[in-house]
Every structure is written in structure tokens, then in C-alpha cells.
Amino acid sequence: MRRIVIVSSAALLVLAAQAQNRNEKVAQQLHTNDQTLQGVLIDAGCQDRSLWNMTRPPEQQAAAIATSDNGTRGAQASQSHGISVDSQTIQAERADITPVENAETIARQSDPTCAIKANTRAYAVLLRGGRLLDLDEGGNTYATAAVQDSARGRDMLNGRGAGFKPLVTIVGWIQGDRVFADQVKLGK
């Protein structure tokens, strides 16, 4: 019985070594296809992926709710589709609404021009020729680290700066419409 277990263990070790060698060969083949790509880093979750929209400068977004002196909007009476509401009712209904005014909350709102904001979780790179490539999971991790390491990224994440579209250099390989990144560096 012991001989069978020893032989089986040795066979498993040989199979594991062969599998590791195959994985290393595949990785070497992929890395021989590494390319250096340059483009603009954008939010991959952007709704409008038209070239026109992605090349526009980021928007400077204002607070979601404009405030008046008393902290609410629209204190005068209003009428809509046959319904009249007096100003006292409007005041009473809107008294519990907290206006969105702080910069951090504004920084976490999506940018319609695909700029990187604090809520960006997946990235894409817009190449100079207009081709758009999504980053793989590893590339998203590298891109997040690069954004957090940049001064503009820290300002944006801390609510002191607007969204931005930095120039980026990516080392990796392309498969379909995806880039498998080994390195992501923001331009200066």
C-alpha cells in the first residue's frame, strides 16, 4: 500500500511540474507580444463611447441641487399639469432634503465625457488612432494605483479637483478589444 502512495505522490509532482512549465511557456509567449501603448486613460463605464465624446475635455460639474439662502430650491409657489402647490407646502416638503454641496460628493459623480472620477472602477485607453481598448483586471489595478499616486488623482479623490483624462503609457499585449497590462504609467 505504501508503494502505491509513494508512486502516486511522485506522479502528481511530475504532473504539477509539467503544468507549471506549460504555464511559464504560455506566459513567455504572451510577454514576447508586449507592446508599449500610449493614449488617454478614461472611465470604461462611460455610457457614450463615441470618439467625439471621449475626446472632449472633462466637464466641471456643479452641485446636484442648487441652493438658495434657506438651503432649498424653488421656494415660490408652482403649478404643474393642473396641480397647484403653495410655497409653504414646498418649504415643508423640502425641509428634510440635504443639499449636495460638498466637493467630495461632486467628485464622485460620473462625468459624461468619460473622465476619470472618484467612482471609476474600470479603465480603458483611447489610442491616438481612435481605437478604444478596455484594461484587464490587472490593468485596472495598475491604473488605480497610478491615479492614486498622481497629484491630480489625489486631489480628485479628496474632492479638491475635477475629473481628468491623463495621458498614459501601458506596457502589455492586446487580445481583441482588451489590453492585458503589465505596467501602467500616467504621463507628466
pLDDT at 13: 75
Residue (of 44, 29, 172, 160) closest to 111 by Cα position: 44
28 to each of 21, 31, 135, 174, 187, how far by Cα in Å?
10, 5, 20, 15, 28
| Domain(s) of CATH 2.40.50: residues in the chain | 33-63+102-188
Quick: pLDDT tens for 84-107. Answer: 778 887 777 777 665 555 655 665
Instruction: Just give the CATH number of 33-63+102-188.
Output: 2.40.50
* Residue 135 scores a pLDDT above 60: yes
Contact 169, 37 (CB under 8 A): yes
- Global pTM reads 0.63
Strand partners, 175: 178
Quick: pLDDT tens for 31-63. Answer: 567 999 999 999 999 999 999 999 999 987 653
